Structure 1
Amino acid sequence: MTDMVAESSRRPRKTGRSRAKTASSIARSLTDATYEHVLDLILSRRLPGNTIIQERRMAEELGVSRTPMREALGRLEGEGLIVRHGPRTLAVRLVSLEEFLQSLELRLLIEPHAASVSALHIPDDRLAELRRSLRSIDPRQDHPPAMHWVFDDNLHGAVGEYCKNDLTANTLLAMRRLTKMFERQHLPERTAPGWKEHDEILSALETRDGARARRAMAEHLKTARKNVLEIILGGARL
């Protein structure tokens, strides 16, 4: 018992500064979790475009105080995913066709190059994980579109993560969010991204063929643009 008391007396005590740092870390974690939850609501279309954000009500629904909710909404506003309608009103951004096409145009300029670079750097275990995920959505069977969209996010996310350029990665993330928001807001019935296109991109990454990865990514993005325009023009939408 004496030894335990002595040992306890030698343990460093938390100072006011360390307690403040711990509290700050907890607050940041809560804000991050709130941000991720609201972001998912937006990208999954559970919060459609032009939906008015009621800070107090949303905080109550998520079981958090208004402080982390306010900070999370501030981040989303800074990223352009929610917009301000007047001094006190926030709403989910409604992405226009023009914004979609501009975002896709920018992706076409930089994402094929990012794919060619990432082909040399994505770890084997990450590629194996992507391959297992793609096999689980065999095109000969019916799968919920959400499964295809999850793979789409993971594949493009890996390309951005390993393109060795933080600015490129952040730009691609922002542009992919806009294109995804547009499709979920205006074309919820559109079929999921093509399995064969994803397979070609992944095969190029697996063989470490940068030129092939560049071509496959460019073709994938051009096909996405073509399909969306055909749906919109064919249905005289927007």
Structure 2
Amino acid sequence: MLPSDLAGSDDSQASLPRSERAYQQLRSAIQAGHLAPGTRLREVELAESLGLSRTPVREALSRLESEGLVVNEPNRGMMVTQLDASMVSELYVMREVLEATAAALAARHATDVEISLLRDIVERDLVLAEDPERLVSNNRLFHETLHRCAHNRYLLKTLRTLHESMALLGRSTLAVPGRARGSYEEHMALVEALEARNPTQAEQIARRHIQQAYKVRLSLWVEEQSR
């Protein structure tokens, strides 16, 4: 069942169709970790928590299933997707390919103002080093801004879908000691490659950045599985 603080209606969602409202609230709950991987999703309980009928909840669950955030397991019903080692690997393979492509395109097409904005975002990492929650938010902003700097609507759409699935991974790799500093240095090197208008270098740095993130993610996954 959803936490009580998510059950209330948001003014910004009040005018949305009920199925869209259910979809957005459930997706947000999954991404925030309120509905953890493996959680059973019962229509009756979710409908009661959201203050909706079962039909829009069923439609929302179907949409989430098509996006990979929810899976319908035989004999178990709907549940939040649990990732295994191969699925984690597949996510990072795709992320490496797409992020590297975005970086190369950004080196060609981003405006000077956009690149300057990316530098400002990276520099905020140093200020936010002692504030993990805001640091994670700033990291997300950096990558979302980089994606937009590629100026390719189809790549942007694909990256958004991928990053919704990344929410299933749980806590950020920035929580691992030393990773925040490494991420900052990798981001700064990428910005410098963009400023130099060097697509090849930008692509290589982006690939290494995701590869490093994957190594840390894998160590976190192994640690969590051993508990």
Q: Residue 78 of structure 1: CA displacement?
A: 0.7
Q: Residue 188 of structure 1: CA displacement?
A: 9.8
Match of 1:53, SS?
Answer: coil
Match of 2:79, SS?
Answer: strand
The answer on 1:89 being equivalent to 2:77 is: yes
Amino acid at match of 1:82: V
- The corresponding residue for 1:118 is 106
Cα distance change on mapping 1:204 and 1:235 into 2, 3 Å: same
Cα distance change on mapping 1:39 and 1:208 into 2, 3 Å: farther
Gaps of 5+ in 1: 1-25
Compute the RMSD of aligned alpha carbons. Answer: 3.4
TM-score (norm: length of structure 2): 0.73
| Counterpart among 79, 89, 92 of residue 101 in structure 1 | 89
Q: Residue 77 of structure 1: CA displacement?
A: 0.8
CA distance in 2 between partners of 1:67 and 1:27 (Å)? 15
- The corresponding residue for 2:12 is none
- The corresponding residue for 2:11 is none
Q: Is residue 118–residue 146 contact of structure 2 (8 Å, CA) maintained in 1?
A: no
The answer on 1:51 being equivalent to 2:39 is: yes
Give the number of aligned pairs: 210
The answer on 1:75 being equivalent to 2:63 is: yes
- The corresponding residue for 1:223 is 212
Q: Is residue 107–residue 197 contact of structure 2 (8 Å, CA) maintained in 1?
A: yes
Q: Residue 213 of structure 1: CA displacement?
A: 1.9
Amino acid at match of 2:157: N
Match of 2:171, SS?
Answer: helix
* Cα displacement string for residues 68-118 of structure 1 (whole angstroms, at most 9, x for unaligned residues): 333322211110110112488211000111111122122223321221102
Where do residues 146-185 of structure 1 align in structure 2 (5 Å cutoff)?
146-184=133-171
Where do residues 10-21 of structure 1 align in structure 2 (5 Å cutoff)?
none
CA distance in 2 between partners of 1:137 and 1:197 (Å)? 12
Q: Residue 35 of structure 1: CA displacement?
A: 2.3
CA distance in 1 between partners of 2:219 and 2:175 (Å)? 14
Match of 1:119, SS?
Answer: helix
* Cα displacement string for residues 125-158 of structure 1 (whole angstroms, at most 9, x for unaligned residues): 55455444443332684112x3232233223223
| Counterpart among 30, 33, 36 of residue 42 in structure 1 | 30
CA distance in 2 between partners of 1:235 and 1:52 (Å)? 20
Q: Is residue 52–residue 89 contact of structure 1 (8 Å, CA) maintained in 2?
A: yes
Match of 2:126, SS?
Answer: coil
Cα distance change on mapping 1:202 and 1:233 into 2, 3 Å: same
Cα distance change on mapping 1:31 and 1:161 into 2, 3 Å: farther
Cα distance change on mapping 1:83 and 1:190 into 2, 3 Å: farther
TM-score (norm: length of structure 1): 0.70
CA distance in 2 between partners of 1:142 and 1:46 (Å)? 24
- The corresponding residue for 1:5 is none
Q: Among all aligned residue pairs of Structure 1 and Structure 2, give the percentage whose two residues are the same amino acid.
A: 25
Pick which of 90-99 and 39-48 moved more.
Answer: 39-48
- The corresponding residue for 2:4 is none
CA distance in 1 between partners of 2:98 and 2:19 (Å)? 31
CA distance in 2 between partners of 1:76 and 1:125 (Å)? 36
CA distance in 1 between partners of 2:84 and 2:147 (Å)? 24
Cα distance change on mapping 1:27 and 1:236 into 2, 3 Å: closer
CA distance in 2 between partners of 1:85 and 1:197 (Å)? 40
CA distance in 2 between partners of 1:141 and 1:188 (Å)? 10
